[in-house]
A and B are shown apart, each in its own frame.
Chain A
Amino acid sequence: MKKKRFGLVARREMKGYIFLLPWLIGFVCFFAVPLVQSFIYSLSNVKMTAAGRKMSYVGFDNFKYLFNEDTVFTGLLTDFYREAILRLAVILVFSLVIAMMLNHNIKGKGVYRTIFFLPIIVVSGPVLQRLMDEGATTVPLIESYGVSGIISELLPASLANPLNGLFTQLILVLWYSGVPILIYMAGLQKIDRSVYEAALIDGAGGWVAFWKITLPAIQPMILINGIYTLVFLATSGLNSVISEINSRMFNTSFGGGYGVASAMAWVYTLTLAVGLLVIYLVTKPRKATVVEVSKTREQIRVERLHAQRAAARKGGAA
């Protein structure tokens, strides 16, 4: 009879937790506890001795060291974000273009989809490294026309270097578009065709329809793609920040060790969080206040069109 104390709802709640239990255990053991521990490490000086790890609390010394004395880390970090902004823009635009092309009713859609999704299967650090060494990652034309030379001449180095990096790895950058393309396509398919037809009747051309219908409709997809792409760039197999953290972890002689490595990882995570927040703020769906204004402009155009047609009809009848 004890069971009766739990209501039906409470019992179902318990059952939900039972299904969630494996994940909860994993979350605590492999995520929450390590997360806290890594924060503690980042505030301490960790020494490996024969007896085991010895930790002493040093406050924010590790962080101070990273920003004041360390010569490598901050440079790598700024390089990464400079590149990431460029790549993010390229990936988001490119995948939208491809998705819009594939959204038309064309034959062989499946084949194209297979091609554009293929890189997801093969992107991994060592494979990309091999391809880059081989020089197979740039569009051949860019090299032969000396685009990179022009760029370095025209722009300051801080801007030219990431741009050239983008060009020499252009295909690899585009390779990250596989998932965004599919996400955009899923979003585009949901837009009702009749909306476009209505807009066409109202006199809106393809260009206007893109800005006023397509873009607002897929705004949530842009947000998802932005977050997805940044997270993937930040954890990709060729990320120099991560390899630096990795090598510092075991390099105890020169500004390394678990403490500094953890501090680096935390700085990286926090900057990434800021990056994601920026993406959210830039791409979050806004209230459509612009539509009102544009509608009147469209109406004017439609009226003019009607007037023209009426005049033409009159001319034909005369």
Chain B
Amino acid sequence: MTTKAKPSAWKNRAQAIKKALVGSNGKLGLGAKIFLYVMLTSLGFVYIYPILHMGVTSLKSLTDLLDPSVQWLPHQLSLDNYQKALEVMGFREHLMDTLLVSFLPSLFQTFSCALAGYAFARFRFKGKNFWMACVLLTFIVPFPVLMVPTYTLYSDYGILGSILTMILPAAAGQGLRSAIFILIYKAFYEQTPASLDEAARVDGASEKRIFFTIGVPLGLPAMLTTFLFSFVWYWNETYTTSLYMGNAALGDTHSVSTLLMELSKFEDSYKAYLEKVSGWAAKMGGATNIQNEAVTMAGTILTILPLLIIYFCLQRYFTEAIDRSGITGE
């Protein structure tokens, strides 16, 4: 009996160890947990490695840059690069442009998409499915197809180079990725009960009033999410902004240039800046050929810094967007 009991005892012990390490019944054991944390942390590190690299490089002085032994920790933190990048990019004036280009269209987009999503969620009308399919179509059809005709359209109306080229489509629910926002609103208004609307309707409130006094306050979380994403996407947009606003008519002094448009021509601006600062001597001495990555990285950080701040303050609203969108279906 004892001889036979031993293996089963061993088995039990092995199973207990396995349970502690791997876990069972949906509960994680210690080993599995450690494995998970290690994996997630290292993958997370790889994931934000470019941003970390960017941050560290932007703080390096020239000697540190050329010294291959300096990888992560610069000998001294130099904010010189930021100083230079600020000047090269004309940060102050272009920050205003960027804020305008991202703030105004996203405000209009938030509202126009709310109207459309509300219509899809709360009303029954003929052709609803057809129009919903059209919303999805606007998501799938890539921008280049519309690029030429809209460009000529804007040029016919003489609004090329002005911020109106961004605002008009946004106000009409055709801004950047509007389809996603309409879907978010639709799902949101479908999930919130319509009983308040019904009560107001019985009391004789107009649909307009119902929307503004009940629909809008109710939809505030969805609106915030939409606004944030819209803001970020307009901030990051370069195709449409450089096409509609970068190619302003010659002699037009009032052309809008966003930080990202400035970033894409950073090298040229940097050369011009060096020539301006150190005069023709630098031009002859070849100093302009020195590509200072640290300054470039500082410029890159500066363009995304406002977004990073917004993201870290309000990240809940970003990551909850998916749950709101109702993409998982019921």
Contacts and interface: CB of A to CB of B under 8 A. Distances in A.
A101 B39 contact: yes
Interface in A218-276: 220-221, 224, 227, 231, 234-235, 237, 241-242, 245-246, 249-250, 258, 261-262, 264-266, 268-269, 272-273, 276
B263 A127 contact: yes
Interface in A27-71: 27, 29-31, 33-35, 37-38, 41, 53
Interface in B264-314: 264, 266, 293, 296-297, 299-300, 303-304, 307-308, 310-312
B66 interface: no
A235 B238 CA distance: 11
A101 B36 contact: yes
A265 B148 contact: yes
B174 A134 contact: no
Which of B25, B238, B328, B329 has the most CB atoms of chain A within a 10 A radius of its CB?
B328
A246 B243 contact: yes
A104 interface: yes
Contact of B144 (A102, A129, A242): A242
A268 to B, nearest CB: 6
Interface residues of B, number: 99
A126 B4 contact: no
Given A30-B172, A124-B237, A124-B238, A315 B311 contact: no
Interface stretch (A14-22, A81-89, A159-167): A14-22
A317 to B, nearest CB: 10
Contacts of B46: 139, 171, 174
A122 interface: yes
B300 A127 contact: yes
Contacts of A30: 146, 150, 168-169, 172, 174
A123 interface: yes
Contacts of B171: 22, 26
Given A16-B124, A118-B51, A273-B140, A127 B303 contact: yes
B315 interface: yes
A78 interface: no
Contacts of A37: 149, 152
B171 to A, nearest CB: 7
Given A122-B51, A235-B143, A272-B140, A20 B327 contact: no
B319 A19 contact: no
B10 interface: no
A172 B328 CA distance: 26
A120 interface: yes
B142 A242 contact: yes
A129 B264 contact: yes
B135 to A, nearest CB: 8
Given A38-B146, A245-B144, A186 B139 contact: no
Interface in A298-318: 312, 315-316, 318
Interface stretch (B111-119, B219-227, B249-257): B111-119
A142 B190 CA distance: 48
Given A105-B28, A268-B142, A246 B147 contact: yes
A134 B112 contact: no
B207 A15 contact: yes
Given A23-B116, A258-B148, A182 B293 contact: no
B323 A318 contact: no
A13 B296 contact: no
Contacts of B153: 34
A26 B236 contact: no
- Name A's interface SS: helix
Nearest to B316: A110
Interface string A117-159: 1111111111101110110110100000000000000000000
A115 B238 CA distance: 25
Contacts of B8: 312, 315-316
B134 interface: yes
B40 A112 contact: yes
Contacts of A171: 46-47, 49-50
A12 interface: yes
B126 interface: yes
Nearest to B108: A22
Given A18-B207, A22-B116, A242 B328 contact: no
A114 interface: yes
A285 B116 CA distance: 30
A187 interface: yes
B91 interface: no
B202 to A, nearest CB: 13
Query: Which one of B119, B169, B207, B293 has the highest number of Cβ atoms from chain A below 10 Å of its Cβ?
Result: B119
Contact of A268 (B39, B144, B148, B243): B144
Contact of B151 (A102, A237, A249): A249
A14 B36 CA distance: 55
B33 interface: yes
A112 B321 CA distance: 16
Interface string B193-206: 00000000000000
A221 B325 CA distance: 13
A176 to B, nearest CB: 12
Contact of A127 (B39, B174, B304): B304
Given A124-B237, A237-B236, A224 B118 contact: no
Given A118-B48, A121-B311, A139-B46, A126 B238 contact: yes
7 contacts: A53-B152, A105-B28, A126-B263, A129-B264, A134-B54, A193-B26, A315-B4
Ranked nearest first, the 5 interchain pairs of A and B with the lowest CB-CB distance are: A26-B172, A16-B123, A124-B236, A19-B119, A23-B173
Given A122-B51, A126-B263, 11 more contacts: A18-B207, A24-B131, A34-B153, A98-B40, A122-B307, A130-B263, A130-B296, A136-B54, A171-B47, A187-B328, A261-B144
